[in-house]
Amino acid sequence: MTQRTFQWALLLSGMMMVMHSPAFSQSANAADKILGEWINETHDRKIEFYRAAGTYEARLSWLKNADGKARTGQVVIRGLTYNEGRYEKGRLYMPARDAWYNCSAVLKDEHTLAITGSAGLFSKTKTWTR
């Protein structure tokens, strides 16, 4: 084994140790707590969060009554990133208005998610549950 090969092997093994350390996996596990199905405040929609290209997205997984523009499988949240206990920099789609808004979210506890949509100076927060 050459000196250069040995250095690369040492570097890669160090990276593997860091990635499998409790601190690294705890951060990933904390971010993934948003994954799964949530029910909106009016209990007429279920929204499923999933990972997509390093961010979190959500799609409608169930509708009590389809209102014409909303449909099952439709992506309604895109691009949420996890940062120190908050999900931020996402976009929220409102089918009834056919418009995208800025979006952030905070897990209040294991079963409660506060979703905030904003446009300019106006914002509104809704609470979703599991």
Average pLDDT over residues 27-50: 93
1 has pLDDT over 80: no
Domains located in the chain, CATH noted: 35-129 (2.40.128.520)
Residue 130 or 11, more confident: 130
Predicted local confidence at residue 106, as pLDDT: 98
pLDDT digits (tens, 9 = 90+) for 50-101: 999 999 999 999 999 877 789 999 999 999 999 999 999 999 999 989 999 9
Q: Give, in degrees to the nearest 5, the angle at Cα 46 between 83 and 42.
A: 100
Q: How far apart are CA 31 and CA 51, in angstroms?
A: 10
Q: How far apart are CA 33 and CA 42, in angstroms?
A: 22
For residue 25 the two structure tokens come to 């996996």
Predicted local confidence at residue 29, as pLDDT: 87
Provide the whole-model pTM.
0.77
